[in-house]
Amino acid sequence: MGTKTIGVVIKRFREKQRLSQEVLSGLANIDRSHLSKIELGLRSPTVNVLYKIADALNIKASDILIEAEKEECEEECLDKSAHKNRS
């Protein structure tokens, strides 16, 4: 599972709850710049940080991982479909 995908999913959950990075990072007790880098896919969250973020969002850490897995599966299916259409 890619770092960028996890970041995209975290950002989506955050925006769905209409939280700023500043607010979420405060609730999760992590630095805002660290959260920003996670959302951009520049850093991979540790398990501990993933749990902190999930707790702050009132979701399970597994919800983030499940959504990230779905996202990657969808992208993979689209890539395969596009490749078949070119053949």
With residue 87 as reference, give the H or E element that holds it. Answer: none
Residue 67 sits in a domain whose CATH number is: 1.10.260.40
Note the pLDDT tens digit of each residue in 20-54: 999 999 999 999 999 999 999 999 999 999 999 99
Cα–Cα distance measured from residue 29 to residue 1, given in angstroms and rounded to the nearest whole number? 25
* Residues spanned by the domain of 24: 3-86
How many structural domains is the chain composed of? 1
* Predicted confidence band of residue 2 (pLDDT cuts 50, 70, 90): confident
* H helix runs in 29-60, sequence order: 32-39, 47-56
Share of the chain above pLDDT 90, in %: 77
* Predicted confidence band of residue 78 (pLDDT cuts 50, 70, 90): low
